[in-house]
Amino acid sequence: MANKQFDVIVIGGGPGGYVAAIRAAQLGFNVACIDEWKNGKGGPALGGTCTNIGCIPSKALLQSSEHFEHAGKHFADHGIKVEGLGLDIDKMLGRKDAVVKQNNDGITYLFKKNKITFFHGRGAFAKASGAGYELKVTGAAEETIEGKHIIVATGSNPRALPGADFDEESILSNDGALRIPSVPKKLGLIGSGVIGLEMGSVWRRLGSEVTVLEALPTFLGAVDEQIAKEAHKAFVKQGLKIELGVKVGEVKSGKKGVTVAWTNAKGEAQTLEVDKLIVSIGRVPNTIGLNPEAVGLKLDERGAILVDDECRTSLPNVWAIGDVVRGPMLAHKAEEEGVAVAERIAGQHGHVNFNTIPWVIYTSPEIAWVGQTEQQLKAEGRAYKAGTFPFLANGRARALGDTTGMVKFLADATTDEILGVHIVGPMASELISEAVVAMEFKASAEDIARICHAHPSLSEATKEAALAVDKRTLNF
Ligand code: FAD
Ligand code: NAI
């Protein structure tokens, strides 16, 4: 018999889990959350991959490295002289760690505020019980607890290349990539996906010579082709070496660095010698130590917990959300699922619209999109109209000194309903929200074109791209 009983127990304190716990507590449930993440001192560090070795620290380093690049390369354009520019990498990494800690502490505070019981340790299914399920907690906290509803939010882990395990010294996952102690002269990246481009940008800006080896023949295949082309051009101009259509062979790690044997798109054998190698070839759902077998919780062929559209698993009152289930591995997707599940447990109609989940790649230029790409619409045979507007013709972008890229609208040829919005350029991560709201409200391109946007602002490029759908831009 478990000594503590809860209405809802959440396993995992990442963005999916901690938000689910907060929403369930708001709805009046007695909630517990189990999370095993340890900070450098062995204490708890709520926030999961996202807060500890993902979204937050990567954005902190992207910001610091961008400041460095601006100071070295762009301040002069503004008439600002910088002499003796230098890098204190310890301080930069220390700042990043402090930003992470602020976020860890913020979640701890939110748990207290919402009266959520926190267990620092690993949660594993023990057995189905009268009231629900018994979970065994091991680690700093050691006990058996019982919950009527269980929400599994155990996240994902980086996928390793076969035969090249992560040692986080020479062969790095996102974890090691965020704490390289000195700028490597030569840095290799396997995979030109989201992590590859973000981490490649950080270390290139800080001075590394970066080579990215990508298996697919197309660059950023999931991104609208026109946007991906523009981004590729910008990254190559910045100095990222991107090799597409490669086949990665043997990876050897020694005292002097890492050697990667690879074949280029023409089938020619090549060797890449680097000081550090970041492997970013996707992530795998994490159920390590969860003991799903104890209760017969079903996984799919990828090892993800099998769920329906509403995050119900194969077991009654067991739910799963975030990276450990199907769908995009994004923090905000995990959060939305967490809120929706808590509301469903309360008998409400939780809802997640997969068609309006935005994507952002925080490089410079940033890449952001929502909805369908032009190639998807073509493949579907859907009649559409496209409108683009370049930042080159936007006053605010000129004032910023950052005119790379464009905003692109795709709208239904007959109804004018917005089907997709794609942005490459400054602050794309912020600009995309307007498009998400518009699509949630089933707006037409004309709706955006008729809304007053502040001048001068980057958002005017959004309005102009909407006008471009009807071939009536005002400033281009
Ligand atoms: P996680 O954040 O992985 O959290 C799972 C938690 O569960 C962890 O704390 C883990 O320790 C704990 N856990 C696992 N098993 C157990 C167990 N049995 N018992 C107890 N605890 C357990 N997404 C974005 O949307 N924007 C970004 O900018 C972004 N940047 C990223 C950058 C990098 C470098 C990486 C790697 C990822 C990034 N992501 C980003 C993706 C994002 O981090 C994930 O989509 C998100 O963290 C998923 O949330 P989650 O709650 O499902 O899982
Ligand atoms: P990814 O799926 O974005 O990219 C992996 C890339 O590696 C692909 O282009 C793939 O073709 C390539 N690849 C796979 N196997 C390969 C091989 N053997 N050799 C060479 N290339 C190979 O995965 P990534 O970058 O690891 O990121 C994982 C996930 O984390 C992302 O999909 C995203 O969901 C999340 N993330 C989100 C961020 C954001 O929202 N800004 C930032 C970073 C990560």
Cβ atoms < 10 Å from Cβ of 289: 12
* Predicted confidence band of residue 322 (pLDDT cuts 50, 70, 90): very high
CA of residue 86 to ligand 1 center, whole Å = 33
Q: What percent of the chain has pLDDT over 70?
A: 100
pLDDT tens-digit map of 284-318: 999 999 999 999 999 999 999 999 999 999 999 99
Per-residue pLDDT at 118: 98
- Which ligand is closest in space to the CA of residue 336? 1
Task: Indicate which atom in ligand 2 lies nearest the CA of residue 213.
Answer: 20
Q: How far is the C-alpha of 342 from the C-alpha of 20, rounded, in Å?
A: 6
Per-residue pLDDT at 2: 66
The dihedral of CA 292, 296, 300, 302: what is its sign? positive
- Which ligand is closest in space to the CA of residue 58? 1
The closest alpha carbon to 347, from 317, 371, 308, 309, belongs to 317
- For 405-420, what is the mean pLDDT? 98
Q: Would you please indicate which residues are annotated as catalytic (active-site) residues?
A: 455
Domains of the chain: 4-158+284-352 (3.50.50.60), 171-281 (3.50.50.60), 356-469 (3.30.390.30)
Task: Indicate which atom in ligand 1 lies nearest the CA of residue 59.
Answer: 28
Per-residue pLDDT for 94 more than 70? yes
Task: Indicate which atom in ligand 2 lies nearest the CA of residue 330.
Answer: 34
Per-residue pLDDT at 267: 96
Per-residue pLDDT at 13: 98
Per-residue pLDDT for 3 more than 80? no
pLDDT tens-digit map of 444-457: 999 999 999 999 99
- Cα angle 246-376-284, degrees, rounded to a multiple of 5: 50
Per-residue pLDDT for 48 more than 70? yes
* Predicted confidence band of residue 1 (pLDDT cuts 50, 70, 90): low
CA of residue 195 to ligand 2 center, whole Å = 6
pLDDT tens-digit map of 422-440: 999 999 999 999 999 999 9
For 255, the token pair is 């005292």
Per-residue pLDDT at 444: 98
Average pLDDT score over the chain? 97
Give the closest residue (by CA) to ligand 1 atom 29. Answer: 55
416 lines ligand 1 (CB under 6 A): no
Per-residue pLDDT at 130: 87
Note whether 326 and 297 are within 8 A (CB): no
Per-residue pLDDT for 141 more than 70? yes
pLDDT tens-digit map of 145-196: 999 999 999 999 999 999 999 999 999 999 999 999 999 999 999 999 999 9
- For 17-40, what is the mean pLDDT? 98
Pocket of ligand 2 (CB under 6 A): 161, 190-196, 198, 213-216, 248, 280-283, 328-330, 360-362
Task: Indicate which atom in ligand 2 lies nearest the CA of residue 247.
Answer: 19
**Beta-bridge partner residues of 369:** 359, 422
Q: How far is the C-alpha of 323 from the C-alpha of 283, rounded, in Å?
A: 9
CA of residue 351 to ligand 1 center, whole Å = 21
